[in-house]
Structure 1
Amino acid sequence: MLSFITIVLVIYGLFLISGILFPNDPQWYATVKVPSWAPSGQLIGMVWAFLYACIAVSIAIVYTRTSGFTDIGIGWIAAVTSNYLFNQAYPFFLFKVKNLELAFLDSFAVAATACSLIIMTVPYSKFAAWLLVPYLVWSCFATLLSWVIIQLNRS
């Protein structure tokens, strides 16, 4: 069985993939109207780095408590997988496709699946579930911010 640290590093690395494949486009983003309360790109990057660590530790806890996911339901695996895919799609929609509406919808899906994941993680570890709460809060904030950006950029 893989070690706890190996799982954390693998999961953390997986969450970094979309940032590598679809890096931000500062020239384009500078043309997008954002509210005065929008955090800086640097702060957003630091928050995501922290959140990815929390997600990775949470998943590693569940992995170790369920003998490598052998004692876990398909629902939890589906929740993790769908959340991961939605999370990875956001920079694609925002920086590659440059579609604010798709980015908003994706952000909403990230928040919804994060909420589902928290609920489904509780039976395996309350601590692992609590580690996901900042992710849910930030995802909800990002969804609100995405909605406001859409409104500010309507022609």
Structure 2
Amino acid sequence: MIKPWMVIGGVTFIVALGTALMKPRDTIWGVHLRRPDWLVFEPAIPFIWTIVFVAGAASATIVWDKDPGSLKTWLLMGLYLLLEIVTVAYIPMTLRLRSLKIGTILGGSGVILGVVLALLAWPISGWAAALLLPYLLWSPVGTYTTWEMIQLNPEAA
């Protein structure tokens, strides 16, 4: 029997593969951008996002398990999915369009969606809301970093 966590984890994994939509020429553009001097943790970013996505999937699973199949739960699952799509779209869209401004807009949109989702999850489960904390802490860092990169690379805005 397929468990809800398997479906949620599978969807999370499949959506996360969206970063594979990057083309080498797009990646080269991004590599050549100047970065803030304080961005010393860049090699850890893929691991950080892995933790964020796993925690988000766990949050969604808890919400699903509290009221499986209800309209409210399906709408929340849609919001979890939208948040992941916006988050995953950040890198391919920023690189493909060669626009740090697009990245900043997507990052900021993700922060807002994350806050809304956490507020909606809180009454259902404190744990579900708490599992969104890694996203709520990390996403603003990424958004701010992108905004800071605009200052360093105005031609890439």
- TM class by smaller structure: 0.7 to 0.9
Equivalent residue letter for 2:92? F
Which structure: greater helix fraction? 2
Which region of structure 1 is more displaced relative to structure 2, 114-123 or 92-101? 92-101
Q: Tell me, yes or no, if the aligned pair for 2:60 and 2:77 is still in contact at 8 Å.
A: no
Query: Cα gap change, 1:101/1:137 in structure 2, threshold over 3 Å: closer, same or farther?
Result: same
Q: Structure 2: which 5+ residue stretches go unaligned?
A: none
Deviation (angstroms), 1:2: 4.4
Which region of structure 1 is more displaced relative to structure 2, 84-93 or 117-126? 84-93
1:137 equivalent to 2:117? Answer: no
Partner residue in 2 for 1:59: 60
Which region of structure 1 is more displaced relative to structure 2, 132-141 or 30-39? 30-39
Partner residue in 2 for 1:117: 117
Equivalent residue letter for 2:6? T
1:20-59 matches, within 5 Å, as 20-22=20-22, 25-59=26-60
Which region of structure 1 is more displaced relative to structure 2, 89-98 or 133-142? 89-98
Equivalent residue letter for 1:62? V
Q: Tell me, yes or no, if the aligned pair for 2:101 and 2:150 is still in contact at 8 Å.
A: yes
Q: CA RMSD in A?
A: 2.2
Identity %: 21
Partner residue in 2 for 1:12: 12
TM-score, with normalisation over the residues of structure 1?
Answer: 0.86
Query: Does the residue aligned with 1:33 lie in a helix, a strand or coil?
Result: coil
TM-score, with normalisation over the residues of structure 2?
Answer: 0.85
What is the distance in 2 between the residues matched to 1:22 and 1:30?
Answer: 13
